[in-house]
């Protein structure tokens, strides 16, 4: 026999959802609702005032921090929200100031640009308020003198005055240029080498066959570009470099003018550790203090990448914040859940 079909499927579905919610969160009572509101307020307060996790979205801080936009990839860092003073929520105004950001601190901050690809970024502070900054020979020069980074960073930091040209980006540029079939105004159509360049791009375009270059694997991209002559590859690199400089002009900390070399009061110059591939403060300019959310003090995930940058986790109060507060929240949730179950299933008296 077939099961009878309900005449009220919407009501049945609503009842099933209510039952599931009750099993997960407890009874739909005022007291239980207030308990969950308390949990949410505690979590929000911790994230606003004390600690917040942040996922690294790009490779601009390699090799210190691994970045990847894909779900489940990339480092997660712990951010100390208290150390520089609390900001009023949804503003750039601080309620009070504690310690000031220091050179070599890794900070998480709201992007200076209005239409930035990532609204929240992470970089390292290299220039402080009032300093005259100049990048040369891979080093940060402050008021005319090179500043040496800490010993653990000397083999990591090498600041450049221009962005790099990784081979994968050059190949991607070639494929997109071939697909668009547009002639660059930077190349004279009467130039034989330019003519050869566009003839070879036509072969690449034919090999693409209408496919989106972004959908191709690295090996497929390499195979399509492999037929370009050294002369054409050189032209592609120069075109890419010019367009890159137009899109991401690096000025701050590089040009000698006061506007681009003297850090204003209450502002900082921040740079990525992966200097050749970081659109950082050299491009978007000085970072106001009010944009800074906090200091990254550790890599918390994945476990194989665990690292404490500040010694915070080795102090008694650091351990209390890291382990004590989550434990208190867990105890609070557990007690609330236990209380709700007792109210739902009262203990039967002994026979």
d(CA 116, CA 110): 10
- Residue of 58, 60, 275, 313 with catalytic role: 60
Between β-strands 292-301 and 287-288, what pairing exists: parallel, antiparallel or unpaired? unpaired
Sign of the dihedral defined by the CA atoms of residues 208, 209, 210, 211, in that order = negative
Name the token pair of 36.
């969950």
d(CA 73, CA 82): 27
Collapsing DSSP to helix, strand or coil, 312 comes out as helix
d(CA 99, CA 94): 12
Between β-strands 145-147 and 51-55, what pairing exists: parallel, antiparallel or unpaired? unpaired
- The burial class, CB within 10 Å (0-12 / 13-18 / 19+), for 308 is middle
Which one, of 255, 200, 277, lies nearest residue 231 by Cα? 200
Which one, of 117, 108, 125, lies nearest residue 291 by Cα? 108
d(CA 52, CA 305): 18
- Residue of 35, 58, 81, 123 with catalytic role: 123
- Is there a catalytic annotation at residue 60? yes
**Residue 53 — φ and ψ, nearest 5°?**
-80, 155
| Biggest distance spanned by C-alpha atoms of the chain | 104
Q: What is the number of alpha carbons within 13 Å of residue 146 lying toward its C-beta?
A: 10
E-strand stretches of the chain? 51-55, 76-80, 106-110, 120-127, 133-136, 139-142, 145-147, 267-271, 287-288, 292-301, 307-308
- Is there a catalytic annotation at residue 123? yes
d(CA 62, CA 274): 5
Catalytic amino acids? 60, 123
């Amino acid at each position: 026999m077939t099961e009878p079909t309900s005449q009220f499927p919407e009501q049945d579905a609503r009842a099933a959802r209510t039952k599931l919610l009750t099993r997960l969160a407890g009874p739909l009572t005022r007291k239980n609702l207030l308990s969950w509101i308390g949990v949410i307020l505690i979590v929000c307060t911790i994230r606003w005032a004390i600690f917040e996790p942040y996922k690294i979205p790009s490779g601009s801080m390699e090799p210190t921090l691994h970045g990847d936009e894909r779900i489940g990839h990339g480092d997660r860092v712990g951010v100390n929200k208290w150390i520089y003073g609390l900001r009023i929520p949804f503003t750039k105004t601080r309620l009070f100031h504690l310690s000031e950001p220091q050179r070599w601190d890794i900070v998480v901050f709201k992007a200076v640009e209005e239409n930035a690809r990532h609204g929240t970024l992470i970089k390292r502070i290299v220039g402080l308020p009032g300093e005259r900054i100049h990048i040369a020979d891979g080093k940060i020069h402050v008021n005319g003198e090179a500043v040496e980074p800490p010993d653990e960073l000397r083999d990591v930091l090498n600041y450049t005055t221009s962005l790099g040209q990784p081979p994968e980006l050059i190949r991607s540029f070639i494929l997109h240029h071939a697909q668009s079939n547009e002639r660059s105004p930077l190349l004279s159509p009467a130039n034989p080498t330019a003519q050869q360049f566009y003839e070879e791009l036509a072969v690449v375009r034919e090999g693409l066959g209408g496919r989106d270059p972004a959908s191709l694997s690295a090996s497929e991209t390499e195979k399509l570009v492999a037929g370009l002559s050294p002369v054409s590859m050189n032209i592609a690199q120069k075109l890419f470099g010019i367009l890159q400089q137009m899109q991401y002009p690096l000025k701050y900390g590089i040009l000698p003018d006061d506007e681009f070399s003297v850090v204003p009061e209450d502002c900082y110059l921040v740079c990525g550790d992966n200097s050749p591939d970081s659109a950082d403060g050299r491009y978007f300019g000085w970072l106001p203090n009010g944009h800074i959310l906090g200091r990254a003090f550790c890599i918390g995930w994945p476990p194989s990448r665990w690292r404490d940058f500040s010694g915070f986790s080795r102090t008694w109060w650091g351990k209390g914040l890291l382990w004590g507060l989550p434990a208190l929240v867990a105890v609070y949730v557990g007690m609330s859940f236990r209380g709700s179950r007792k109210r739902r299933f009262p203990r039967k008296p002994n026979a």
